Amino acid sequence: MNFLNSFALCFALLLVGMEGGIAQSIAGVEETGIVYRKTRSMGVYIHSRGTGLSFRRGVNETGFRSAQFDFSLQTMRHPKEIRSVNPFSDNAVGYIYGKRNSILMLRTGWGKQFILHPEGDKGGVETGFCFYGGATWALVKPVYLNVYYFDNNFGVRERTERYNPQLHYPDNISGRAPFLVGIGESRFSAGLYANAGMQFEFGKKQQNLRLLETGIAADFMARPIEIMANNPAERLFVTLYIRLMYGKLWNRNE
pLDDT in tens, 164-174: 999 999 989 99
Which pLDDT score, from 0 to 100, does residue 31 have? 44
Helix (H, G, I), strand (E, B) or coil at 185: helix
5-9, 23-27, 87-91, 187-191: range with lowest mean pLDDT:
23-27
Which pLDDT score, from 0 to 100, does residue 21 have? 43
pTM greater than the 0.75 cutoff: yes
Tell me the one-letter amino acid at 123.
G
Residue that wins the pLDDT comparison between 32 and 83: 83
Give the pLDDT band of residue 41 (cuts 50, 70, 90): very high
Q: Find the Cα–Cα–Cα–Cα dihedral 103, 104, 108, 110, rounded to 10°.
A: 70
Q: How far apart are the C-alpha atoms of 237 and 73, rounded to whole Å?
A: 15
Host H or E run for residue 128: strand 126-142
Q: Are 115 and 130 in contact (CB under 8 A)?
A: no
Which pLDDT score, from 0 to 100, does residue 98 have? 96
Nearest Cα to 30, choosing from 64, 66, 65, 67? 64
Residue 70: pLDDT above 80? yes
Give the pLDDT band of residue 3 (cuts 50, 70, 90): very low
Antiparallel, parallel or unpaired: β 83-84 and 50-60: unpaired
pLDDT digits (tens, 9 = 90+) for 177-193: 999 999 999 999 999 99
Q: How far apart are the C-alpha atoms of 145 and 97, rounded to whole Å?
A: 10
Nearest Cα to 119, choosing from 172, 64, 40, 70? 64
Give the pLDDT band of residue 207 (cuts 50, 70, 90): confident
Q: How far apart are the C-alpha atoms of 90 and 19, rounded to whole Å?
A: 56
Average pLDDT (140-146) is 97
Average pLDDT (127-138) is 97
Residue 76 to residues 21, 62, 110, Cα–Cα distance (Å):
33, 36, 21
Average pLDDT (42-69) is 94
User: Helices (H) and strands (E) in the chain — how many of each?
Assistant: 1, 13
Average pLDDT (57-68) is 90
Instruction: Let me know how long the chain is.
Output: 254
Q: Are 134 and 106 in contact (CB under 8 A)?
A: no
Tell me the one-letter amino acid at 141.
K
CATH of domain 39-250: 2.40.160.20
Dmax over CA atoms of the chain, in Å, equals 85
Using alpha carbons only, what angle is made at residue 121 by residues 116 and 124, rounded to the nearest 5 degrees? 60
Which residues 6+ apart lie within 8 Å of 192 measured at CB? 4, 7, 8, 11, 133, 134, 135, 136, 219, 220
Helix (H, G, I), strand (E, B) or coil at 34: coil
